[in-house]
Amino acid sequence: MSEIVNPRPSYGKKMCVSCQADVEDKTAFPIKEDRIIRGLRAIKMRLGIAQMNKLFVCESCVPKHAERRRSFERTMLFASVFAGFVVLLLLYSTISSGRFDAWVVISAFVVALFALLLSLFRYAPAIESGSFQPSKPPPPAPVPEPEEPEERPETAAKKKPAYKPKKKR
């Protein structure tokens, strides 16, 4: 007789991703459920160790989490550029040598995949876009310039022009 471990994902506590504290009574921002989180949940469900917590970032951890996310994005961008460079370099060397070797092509893609997977060790999930607005103060409102009173026709004729063109010789 077998027992069904987790037939349906029933969500557990509300947990902060950064400090691993319960945020049930705190102001917190939800985490976007992306492929990586869904993949980790699927692996944990298969192993029977999934807690199925709702993931949030508490208000006090937002600046630290935002910095971790920026660092992850920079690392991912660098790894992507590096992987692309390695693939292009190995493919170019194969083509320029005059003989095509399938193992070089396969190894180029394996090395690129390895570089991308290494960058996932710095993973920090994104905060849902509609729930968090950065706490930057709004720009100051433009100050309206005072309107000058309209000139009367008789005073406008008496004024000297601001620019006097020079005569050509």
The residue ranges of every structural domain in the chain are 14-125
Q: What is the SS3 string spanning 18-29?
A: CCCCECCCCCEE
Rounded Cα–Cα distance for residues 114 and 111 (Å):
5
Q: Where are the beta strands (DSSP E) in 24-156?
A: 28-30, 54-58
Residue 100 to residue 79: CA distance in whole angstroms: 26
Q: Can you give the pLDDT at residue 99?
A: 82
Query: pLDDT at position 53, please?
Result: 87
Strand partners, 1: none
The pLDDT value given to residue 74: 94
The DSSP-derived string for 78-96 is HHHHHHHHHHHHHHHHHHH
> Per the confidence metrics, is the pTM higher than 0.85?
no
What is the per-residue pLDDT for 1? 40
Task: Tell me how far the alpha carbon of residue 123 is from its chain's centroid.
Answer: 11
8 A C-beta contact, residue 18 and residue 65: yes
What stretches in the chain show pLDDT beneath 50?
A: 1-7, 134-136
